[in-house]
């Protein structure tokens, strides 16, 4: 197994979630996926939620599963006459595990990657996998692939990123890395940026996979860079946050208290980030340096893996200590927190008010690792619980 010391140290710090994945690299696969993914799809939008062995559509107004309808708008029923809901699982006798939700590749068709080394095509209207055997890929997948009109780029958790043609799903090229790729690649101005646990940020040609440059950041990188005005922003397990030019030069960096797993968020020239020690940061970008807006705040008792959500005057973060925190954006002080049943690893999602969705105020959707509270909707302003989805 690659770099055993590095893996052991990571397990001690980030616990059971990574333990299952690391064990899977040696013995064949975890018993269940340890975090899910929330995304939005359709108009009006529904919540597309992937977790463990299934992908479901959820009504954002009340958290109920979306009923499956035919082309005439009639609710489909099963053999007992019960309404069917929009749900995708593996084909018969082919159990699958999902860490990521499907991505749209053309009208009515989605592509989903399973941990079990498969790419599946999903008919959106029918909630059905159209290639039950799947397209095999040479590794496990825990990060979202990136699709363009011509290609889908698939990150592999043990190492490498592979590009496939669309719609054929023929392998086109592979970027070799010495450790896993645990984040979605980023495509900007005809350059594909890929981060890896091997400490490197890669800039490659999206059509050929040829490397334009690589940059060693001194620590594993498990998140997608954020791009703005010609610069990339990314955190690392080397306890640093970086600003990097698109030519591959480090322009600014800031030392954090612990490893930074997820992407930072850039709003109005301020970079918001969180680390696995439970700290939250607000850093003003001064061009060649970062200045704290307020001193780093120890917000949570355990790791903050999930992406910070910046809304108006608040930052919302979820932690493995089973709490969602509302933080004052101007001061870094806690406004309030909401206790959850399970640990929070997945990124939260904001839903804006919509008449078509029957939502009168902004709501934030938070996911936990507990089947009792897979999804919880909170009002943004007061943190009121609006609904819960579990199984």
Answer whether residue 4 is part of any domain. yes
Q: What H or E segment, with its residue span, contains residue 255?
A: strand 250-255
Q: Please tell me the pTM assigned to this model.
A: 0.90
| Alpha-carbon span 390 to 194, nearest angstrom | 34
Whether residue 189 lies inside any domain: the answer is: no
Q: Which long-range contacts (CB under 8 A, 24 or more apart) does 378-387 make?
A: 378/324, 378/338, 380/311, 380/312, 380/314, 380/316, 380/350, 383/324, 383/326, 383/336, 383/338, 385/338, 386/63, 387/62, 387/63
Burial of 149 (0-12, 13-18, 19+ CB in 10 A): exposed
Structural domains counted in the chain: 1
In a domain, 3, yes or no: yes
Q: What is the pLDDT of residue 370?
A: 94
Residues 6+ apart with CB under 8 A from 70: 76
Q: Which pLDDT does position 32 carry in this prediction?
A: 53
> 223-242: per-residue pLDDT in tens?
999 999 999 999 999 999 99
| 116 found inside a domain | no
pLDDT, residue 79, reads 80
27 is a domain residue = yes
Stretch 203-219: mean pLDDT: 98
Q: Give me the domain span that covers residue 14.
A: 1-31
Q: Render pLDDT for 233-267 as a digit per residue (tens, 0 to 9).
A: 999 999 999 999 999 999 999 999 999 999 999 99
Inside any domain, residue 163 = no
Does 384 have pLDDT greater than 50? yes
Q: What is the SS3 assignment for 134? A: coil
Residue 274 in any domain: the answer is: no
In a domain, 229, yes or no: no
The whole-number pLDDT of residue 93 equals 62
What average pLDDT does the segment 153-162 reach?
97
Q: What is the pLDDT of residue 27?
A: 30
């Amino acid at each position: 197994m690659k770099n055993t010391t590095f893996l052991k140290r990571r397990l001690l710090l980030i616990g059971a979630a990574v333990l299952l994945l690391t064990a899977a690299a040696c013995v064949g696969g975890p018993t269940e996926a340890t975090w899910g993914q929330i995304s939005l799809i359709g108009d009006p939008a529904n919540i597309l939620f992937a977790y463990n062995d299934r992908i479901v559509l959820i009504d954002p107004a009340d958290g109920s599963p979306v009923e499956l309808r035919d082309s005439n708008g009639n609710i489909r029923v099963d053999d007992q006459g019960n309404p069917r809901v929009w749900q995708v699982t593996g084909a018969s006798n082919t159990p699958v595990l999902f860490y990521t939700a499907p991505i749209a590749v053309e009208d009515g068709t989605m592509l989903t990657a399973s941990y079990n080394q498969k790419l599946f095509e999903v008919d959106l209207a029918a909630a059905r996998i159209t290639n039950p055997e799947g397209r095999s890929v040479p590794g496990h997948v825990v990060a979202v692939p990136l699709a363009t009109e011509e290609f889908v780029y698939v990150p592999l958790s043990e190492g490498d990123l592979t590009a496939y043609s669309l719609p054929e799903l023929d392998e086109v090229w592979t970027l070799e890395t010495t450790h896993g790729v645990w984040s979605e690649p980023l495509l900007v101005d005809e350059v594909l940026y890929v981060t890896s646990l091997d400490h490197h940020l890669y800039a490659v040609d999206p059509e050929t996979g040829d490397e334009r440059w690589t940059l060693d950041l001194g620590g594993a990188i498990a998140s997608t860079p954020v791009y703005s005005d010609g610069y990339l922003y990314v955190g690392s397990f080397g306890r640093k946050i970086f600003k990097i030019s698109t030519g591959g030069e480090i322009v600014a960096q800031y030392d954090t208290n612990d490893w930074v797993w997820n992407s930072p968020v850039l709003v109005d020239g301020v970079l918001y980030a969180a680390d696995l020690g439970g700290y939250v940061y607000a850093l003003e970008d001064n061009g060649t340096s970062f200045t704290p807006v307020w001193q780093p705040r120890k917000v949570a008792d355990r790791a903050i893996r999930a992406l910070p959500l910046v809304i108006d005057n608040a930052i919302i973060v979820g932690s493995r200590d089973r709490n969602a925190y509302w933080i004052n954006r101007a001061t870094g002080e806690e406004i309030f927190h909401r206790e959850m049943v399970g640990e929070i690893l997945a990124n939260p999602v904001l839903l804006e008010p919509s008449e078509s969705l029957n939502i009168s105020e902004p709501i934030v959707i938070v996911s936990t690792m507990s089947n009792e509270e897979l999804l919880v909707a909170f009002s943004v302003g007061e943190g009121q619980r609006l609904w819960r989805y579990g199984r």
